[in-house]
Amino acid sequence: MPTPSTATRPQMNEKVEVTIDSLAHGGAGVARLDGYVLFVRDAVPGDRVRAVVTKRKRAYGEARALEILEPSPERVAPAADHPGAPWQVLPYERQIEIKAEQVEDALRRIGKLDGFEMEPIVEAEQQWRYRNKVEFSFGEAEGRLVCGFHAPGSWEQIVEMDDCLLVSEQVNAARAAVLEHCRSQGLEAWDRRSQVGFLRNLVIREGRRTGQLQVRLVTSKGTLDGDAFAAVVPGDGGVFWTQAAGVAETTAGGYTEHLAGPPALEEELGGLRFAISPDAFFQTNTEMAERLYAIATEYAELRGWERVFDLYCGIGTIALSLAGRAGEVWGVELVEHAARDAIANAKRNEIANAQFFAGDVRLAMRDLVERAGRPDVLVVDPPRAGLSQKIVRRVIEAAPKKIVYVSCNPTTLAPNAAQLAEAGYVLKRVRPVDMFPQTHHVECVAVLDRA
């Protein structure tokens, strides 16, 4: 087998024919061309495809499938013309099998960890229409305004759709109403290249248990008839307008104006009631978030007297779920609006043993330990990038007896767990949870005990 240095590397934009062997973390198909590894987007194991090379490095390359020459025996017909559901061409049973394998592979291969119990993956309750939040993008197609999703690998082409099968009929109706209003007002989509235009994104959240909507229009700086816009949004949910000044494709930041309805979305989770501000984080699959937090509670093994720290606590969902079983709970959250939501949510649910603070975990941990004392249990639910080395050191300094790690990315959980293992913690149990069917994303909960 040729090494990467001796294997024939294809050129940029070269078209090649390859067979997909497996799926990598991140969802791309893995193929080998004379020993050179290619990660091929839009292909699944068993496919024979014609692909174009989009990135070329010494050890590996990236490519995009142009044509399926011979489909995999595992392929099934897609249910939706949707760029956000790339794994829908695989049977659901195969999807969850691959996800479970990838979690275990990351821990063993990347983390060099062993001796833990790998528990069966928790299957999704709904394979379609499970998302409580979606971010649509505006664009133009054949000279008319459209609102959908970016085509894979494109910042310009927007895939128009009548029915997004990842969200409810109510959310689809709200998208259609907003789009029709924007067309009637002659509003134009913002062009990222020329930096001309107005409409950027439409963010819709839904209370799966309350039926309430939260609709936020993201635009470039300009003028908007806010009353007219709010009037077309169905229901009595909150309506917001964000003006963004930057060039990047993001719905975060900018100046947000509350146009109508309640200032926060009401939702129920695990018997608790939560209010969610437009820029606060909330798990995008409500039903499976309950399962995820139930596992975190199970792993925490609380007996009623423990001091619990919840890092990256958001609006307090995990912390408040644990509070009834703990002596006291302390939450830290970087986003101030979310921390305020967490405080309000504790009051709303009449939970008196939970306190929340806005702050950077890297800087706040030592002060929190000095104020509250060392935690018995520490829960962490970091972003996809995982924990920085400095935060891992702060966790180790805090010396909790037990760490419950809720992860949305096994490839960053693995090195974090390895760092904790070097400091004397033992990885005991791991359970994957399928929060996002039809995609490569997988969540999991891991528990580490101090040796």
Of 133, 31, 48, which is closest to residue 84 (Cα–Cα)?
A: 133
Average pLDDT, the chain: 94
- 372-402: per-residue pLDDT in tens? 999 999 999 999 999 999 999 999 999 999 9
Q: State the amino acid at position 59 in one-letter form.
A: A
Strands 377-380 and 402-407 come out as: parallel
- 19-52: per-residue pLDDT in tens? 999 999 999 999 999 899 999 999 999 999 999 9
Whether the per-residue pLDDT at 107 is higher than 50: the answer is yes
Asked if 243 and 221 count as a contact pair (C-beta separation under 8 A), the reply is yes
| Structural tokens at position 363 | 């800087």
Tell me the three-class secondary structure of 250-300, residue by residue. Answer: CCCCCEEEEEECCCCEEEEECCEEEEECCCCCCCCCHHHHHHHHHHHHHHH
CB neighbours (10 Å) of residue 221? 10
Asked if 106 and 125 count as a contact pair (C-beta separation under 8 A), the reply is no
- 260-318: per-residue pLDDT in tens? 999 999 999 999 999 999 988 899 999 999 999 999 999 999 999 999 999 999 999 99
Q: What's the pLDDT score for residue 272?
A: 97
Whether the per-residue pLDDT at 407 is higher than 50: the answer is yes
Asked if 239 and 260 count as a contact pair (C-beta separation under 8 A), the reply is yes
Span 143-163, average pLDDT: 85
CATH code for the domain defined by 133-268 = 2.40.50.1070
Q: Where do you find CATH 2.40.50.140 in the chain? A: 1-75
Span 222-237, average pLDDT: 94
Q: Counting beta carbons within 10 angstroms of the beta carbon of residue 71, is it exposed (0 to 12), middle (13 to 18) or buried (19 or more)?
A: middle
Task: Give the single-character DSSP code of 122.
Answer: B
* Three-class SS state of 364: helix
Whether the per-residue pLDDT at 136 is higher than 80: the answer is yes
Span 323-345, average pLDDT: 95
Q: Where do you find CATH 3.40.50.150 in the chain? A: 95-126+285-450
CA distance 260 to 238: 6
Of 201, 248, 203, 241, which is closest to residue 222 (Cα–Cα)?
A: 241
The sign of the torsion formed by the CA atoms of 423, 425, 431, 434 equals negative
CA distance 65 to 63: 7
Residues acting as catalytic residues = 408
* Three-class SS state of 13: coil
pLDDT band at 3 (very low <50, low <70, confident <90, very high): low
Q: Where do you find CATH 2.40.50.1070 in the chain? A: 133-268
CA distance 375 to 297: 16
Q: Which CATH superfamily is domain 1-75 in?
A: Nucleic acid-binding proteins (2.40.50.140)
* The model's pTM: 0.94
Q: Which fold has domain 95-126+285-450?
A: Rossmann fold (3.40.50)
Whether the per-residue pLDDT at 1 is higher than 50: the answer is no
| Structural tokens at position 323 | 């509070």
- 61-99: per-residue pLDDT in tens? 999 999 999 999 999 999 998 888 999 999 999 999 999
Whether the per-residue pLDDT at 245 is higher than 50: the answer is yes
Instruction: Provide CB contacts within 8 A for 51, sequence distance 6+.
Output: 15, 16, 17, 18, 31, 38, 40, 43, 63, 64, 65, 66
Asked if 211 and 170 count as a contact pair (C-beta separation under 8 A), the reply is yes
Whether the per-residue pLDDT at 102 is higher than 70: the answer is yes
